[in-house]
A and B are shown apart, each in its own frame.
Chain A
Amino acid sequence: MSKLHFTRRRLIGTGAMAGAGLAMPTIFTGASWAQSQGGFTNAPTGGTVTLGFNVPQTGPYADEGKDELLAQQLAVEHLNGQGDGGCLNTFSSKALKGNGILGKKVQFVTGDTQTKSDAARAAAKSMIEKDGAVMINGGSSSGVAVAVQGLCQEAGIIFMAGLTHSNDTTGKDKKANGFRHFFNAYMSGAALAPVLANTYGKDRRAYHLTADYTWGWTQQESMVKATEAVGWETVNTVLTPLAATDFSSYIAPVLNSGADVLVLNHYGGNMVNSLTNAVQFGLLDKQVNGKDFAIVVPLYSELMANGAGENIKGVLGSMNWNWQLQDEGTKAFVKSFGEKYGRPPSNSAQTCYAQVLLYADAVERAGTFNPCGVGEALEGFEFDGLGNGKTLYRADDHQCFKDVLVVRGNQNPTNPYDTLEIVEVTPVEQVTYAPDHPMFAGGELGQCNPGA
């Protein structure tokens, strides 16, 4: 016995088979066919719903990916009512009851992005086409985030970005189906510049070393604009190859350039190496223009701070979140995560955890898994209690607006986890920008796509 299901095109041709709807839906099929399935891609059938966690499991960011995955698993547990409930207890929206999402038990599948946009898309496609994932979450680079976001837009899936810091993700490459909780390069610049001016003075001369790819450029642009606005001068901006491991030949000329601050627009292995090299050259012990030389790392992550070891002491940077925050949401999350895994979570783990809960909550409030309904519920949503204080998911660009942390490498860490200390919590007003800000211009959200 067999039942056939057709795409819309063929359905129009053959006409009659419309009612047949027992098969699992496939993505990328015509709309009229899928009405009977709920009208959107991968509408969950039965008592479960599948989420897709797409994180780097191989390659240099594998540890970061592992941390994200642990947090995502924790979120699934909490959604299903296991464990201590974590942030479900502190979340300002009370739609989630710990009985899954819309009463359906939450399952998850995982994919390996390898931190390559190609592989990440293949992994996401596999989860969408094969496993019927209704949402994709995770990742640790902007290239991957933008690529997967584009895919989810076409497939009619919600994309809840993980760690992605480039302005483009919610700027020129923003998509209606994509949502970012993490902060961005503009916010880093806006939060850091006043602290830098206070700490180091207003007449500083900065030298930028920048990773030569899209994220690096937006980071550099944001930092240059923000520091020049407080009176700093930019001596030079130098692009470094992504594949570089030894930055000595880029760092050696810095002292002679007349600059007294070095800004490292690097992330991951690049940042660990360039910072290590800069400290080796003794830059931090030098005096230039009568001032103590300073190094700034605009985007910090705990894992990279660990990789750089002692070298980060006293170096300023910014973060999306840190486990040392004292609000209720943070405490609840750190407690759940720490008790389960024996160490505090990283800020990429927190963003993934929050994103999963935000998605689940939006589904509950919308009463449907339909991406358009979920998107509408997320747009303009104001919430609190997930660790970042009061937060707004702005409707114009699907970017979260919340406080940004300025952190510094701890001079006297007492344990392996407090290598960074919070210097200032920059209020959200200071990092907010207009949706049509030039650094974010050039893209449109488009319309939400329910797929099917």
Chain B
Amino acid sequence: MDAIILQILNGLDKGSAYALIALGLTLIFGTLGVVNFAHGALFMIGAFCAVTLQKILSASYTVIDPSQTDFLGRPLEVSKPYLEAWLGPDLGGGIIEWSVPLAILFAIPVMLILGYVMERGLIKHFYRRPHADQILVTFGLAIVLQEVIKHFFGANPIPTPAPPAFAGSLDFGVWLGFDPNAIIYPYWRTVYFLFSLVIIGAVFSFLQFTTFGMVVRAGMADRETVGLLGINIDRRFTIMFGIAAAVAGIAGVMYTPINSPNYHMGMDFLVLSFVVVVVGGMGSLPGAVLAGFLLGIVESFASMNEVKNILPGIDQIIIYLIAIAILLTRPRGLMGRKGVMEE
């Protein structure tokens, strides 16, 4: 029983990353009708916003410490962050430790601008082009973005720890009446899950309860009619692209403590997020969220030893099996609309 609860927790956590990426992806598709293969790269750029901020905050000057030597036997150059020098080790060091949550503030404008530039500079010219061309040009863009990041940050993963306040794990089991240590879950992953709920809720309420969102939804349903009403829908869609990029970006920022970011993490998530979107139904926001959590949970269950002993290797293919099963039984995914992306 405790093992099952544990895997549900794991699944919710994995699922929240899937859902956040898929949400942006399906948002772009639903509004602009563009299949964005660079969406994984946006997630990755978001993660590197956290890396960049961490580097900026810990910008250092060096002092020579003659009492120690470096690897060549020269006096050791010890680097001291400016922040610690200016604000004292407690406050300065504290700010550096909190660089990941702070990076959200940094990432939102960066991603909004990046999304805006991407849409105006590139995607805009592809609305009338076939979906295959959209896939290809964004795929090319994804390669370029990740190679640029590789050039500046290298191929090795870069550790970006969570604030020390979130180190360690929470003992859920005790609350539920299990033995201590039966169900423990890391604080930061719990934070990630709650965070994703907040973001998903925010996006939905934005679309549901604001005039802007109402117009966007109307545009998603019938772009032409909204246009005929004299509303500049393109402009709003551009902003939605920026928002989708920002959602992917902050999902990336918050993911960095879970796994050290590296330049190809976007590609790792790309296939998966597409599977999620398609399983949920292209263009369906609730579908993307539902499918994200569903696949996360199923994947976690498949990696249980009890399951693997019966079906070796099932955890390698379960996501794809589910995708195939759902697409064959529900042609447009869980919540897809008819006629979308079938031509």
CB < 8 Å neighbour of A249 from B14, B264, B265: B14
Contact between chains at B71 and A307 (CB < 8 Å): no
Known contacts A246-B259, A415-B76, then 19 further A-B pairs from the complex at CB < 8 Å, ordered by chain A residue: A59-B264, A60-B155, A63-B156, A64-B156, A212-B316, A245-B268, A249-B300, A250-B303, A255-B181, A256-B182, A269-B262, A276-B258, A280-B257, A281-B186, A282-B184, A307-B260, A324-B71, A343-B71, A415-B78
In the complex, B159 has a CB within 8 A of chain A: yes
Contact between chains at A249 and B7 (CB < 8 Å): yes
In the complex, A310 has a CB within 8 A of chain B: yes
List 25 interface pairs A-B (beta carbons < 8 Å), by A numbering: A59-B264, A60-B264, A212-B313, A236-B305, A238-B308, A243-B268, A249-B14, A249-B300, A252-B9, A252-B10, A253-B3, A256-B181, A269-B157, A273-B157, A277-B259, A281-B184, A282-B169, A285-B168, A288-B181, A308-B157, A308-B260, A310-B161, A324-B71, A335-B72, A415-B76
In the complex, B70 has a CB within 8 A of chain A: yes
In the complex, B218 has a CB within 8 A of chain A: no
CA distance A236 to B305 in the complex (A): 9
In the complex, B158 has a CB within 8 A of chain A: yes
Contact between chains at A61 and B157 (CB < 8 Å): no
The interface residues of chain B lying within 8 Å CB-to-CB of A281 are 169, 184-186
The interface residues of chain B lying within 8 Å CB-to-CB of A273 are 157, 259-260
CA distance A310 to B54 in the complex (A): 15
CA distance A280 to B168 in the complex (A): 6
CA distance A335 to B71 in the complex (A): 8
In the complex, A103 has a CB within 8 A of chain B: no
A246-B258 contact in complex given A280-B186, A307-B158, A323-B71, C-beta closer than 8 Å = yes
In the complex, A198 has a CB within 8 A of chain B: no
In the complex, A291 has a CB within 8 A of chain B: no
State how many angstroms separate the Cβ of B100 from the closest Cβ of chain A: 13
The interface residues of chain A lying within 8 Å CB-to-CB of B6 are 252-253, 256
Contact between chains at B259 and A253 (CB < 8 Å): no
State how many angstroms separate the Cβ of B296 from the closest Cβ of chain A: 9
Residues from 2 to 44 in B contacting A, C-beta threshold 8 Å: 2-3, 6-7, 9-11, 13-14, 17
State how many angstroms separate the Cβ of A40 from the closest Cβ of chain B: 36
CA distance A310 to B161 in the complex (A): 8
A249-B159 contact in complex given A60-B262, A277-B259, A339-B72, C-beta closer than 8 Å = no
In the complex, A306 has a CB within 8 A of chain B: yes
Majority-rule SS of A interface residues: helix
The 10 closest A-B pairs by CB, nearest first: A309-B159, A62-B155, A307-B157, A282-B169, A280-B186, A249-B300, A249-B303, A63-B156, A282-B168, A344-B71
Interface residue ranges, A against B (CB under 8 Å): 59-64, 212, 236, 238-241, 243, 245-246, 248-250, 252-253, 255-256, 269, 272-273, 276-277, 280-282, 285-286, 288, 303-304, 306-311, 323-324, 334-335, 338-339, 343-344, 414-415, 417-418
Interface residue ranges, B against A (CB under 8 Å): 2-3, 6-7, 9-11, 13-14, 17, 68, 70-72, 76, 78, 150, 154-159, 161, 167-169, 181-182, 184-186, 188-189, 257-260, 262, 264-265, 268-269, 299-300, 303-305, 308, 312-313, 315-316
Contact between chains at B7 and A272 (CB < 8 Å): no
Contact between chains at B155 and A63 (CB < 8 Å): yes
State how many angstroms separate the Cβ of B41 from the closest Cβ of chain A: 16
Majority-rule SS of B interface residues: mixed
A309-B13 contact in complex given A253-B3, A253-B6, C-beta closer than 8 Å = no
The interface residues of chain A lying within 8 Å CB-to-CB of B182 are 256
| Smallest CB gap from A308: residue in B | B159
Contact between chains at B72 and A338 (CB < 8 Å): yes
Contact between chains at B157 and A272 (CB < 8 Å): yes
The interface residues of chain A lying within 8 Å CB-to-CB of B168 are 282, 285
The interface residues of chain B lying within 8 Å CB-to-CB of A309 are 159, 161, 260
Output the residue of A308, A415, A418 with the most chain B CB within 10 A: A415
A241-B315 contact in complex given A59-B155, A280-B258, C-beta closer than 8 Å = yes
Output the residue of A62, A64, A311 with the most chain B CB within 10 A: A62
Output the residue of A64, A248, A285 with the most chain B CB within 10 A: A248
Contact between chains at B305 and A306 (CB < 8 Å): no
A248-B189 contact in complex given A256-B181, A339-B72, A417-B71, C-beta closer than 8 Å = yes
Contact between chains at B154 and A256 (CB < 8 Å): no
CB < 8 Å neighbour of B76 from A62, A307, A414: A414
State how many angstroms separate the Cβ of A303 from the closest Cβ of chain B: 5
State how many angstroms separate the Cβ of A7 from the closest Cβ of chain B: 41
CA distance A423 to B323 in the complex (A): 49
CB < 8 Å neighbour of B169 from A256, A280, A323: A280
CA distance A227 to B9 in the complex (A): 33
CA distance A85 to B186 in the complex (A): 51
The interface residues of chain A lying within 8 Å CB-to-CB of B308 are 238-239
CA distance A128 to B239 in the complex (A): 54
| Smallest CB gap from A339: residue in B | B72
State how many angstroms separate the Cβ of B7 from the closest Cβ of chain A: 6
CA distance A273 to B14 in the complex (A): 14
CA distance A111 to B286 in the complex (A): 47
CA distance A249 to B305 in the complex (A): 10
State how many angstroms separate the Cβ of B27 from the closest Cβ of chain A: 24
CA distance A309 to B259 in the complex (A): 11
The interface residues of chain B lying within 8 Å CB-to-CB of A285 are 168
Output the residue of B10, B188, B312 with the most chain A CB within 10 A: B10
Output the residue of A62, A249, A288, A311 with the most chain B CB within 10 A: A249
Contact between chains at A253 and B304 (CB < 8 Å): yes
Contact between chains at A61 and B304 (CB < 8 Å): no
| Smallest CB gap from A248: residue in B | B10
The interface residues of chain B lying within 8 Å CB-to-CB of A306 are 156, 159
The interface residues of chain A lying within 8 Å CB-to-CB of B154 are 62-63
Contact between chains at A249 and B299 (CB < 8 Å): yes
A303-B169 contact in complex given A238-B305, A249-B10, A272-B260, C-beta closer than 8 Å = no
| Smallest CB gap from A307: residue in B | B157
The interface residues of chain A lying within 8 Å CB-to-CB of B159 are 276, 306-311
CA distance A388 to B154 in the complex (A): 29
CA distance A115 to B95 in the complex (A): 39
The interface residues of chain B lying within 8 Å CB-to-CB of A415 are 70-71, 76, 78
| Smallest CB gap from A61: residue in B | B155
CB < 8 Å neighbour of B14 from A246, A323, A324, A334: A246
| Smallest CB gap from B7: residue in A | A249
CB < 8 Å neighbour of B305 from A253, A255, A303, A417: A253
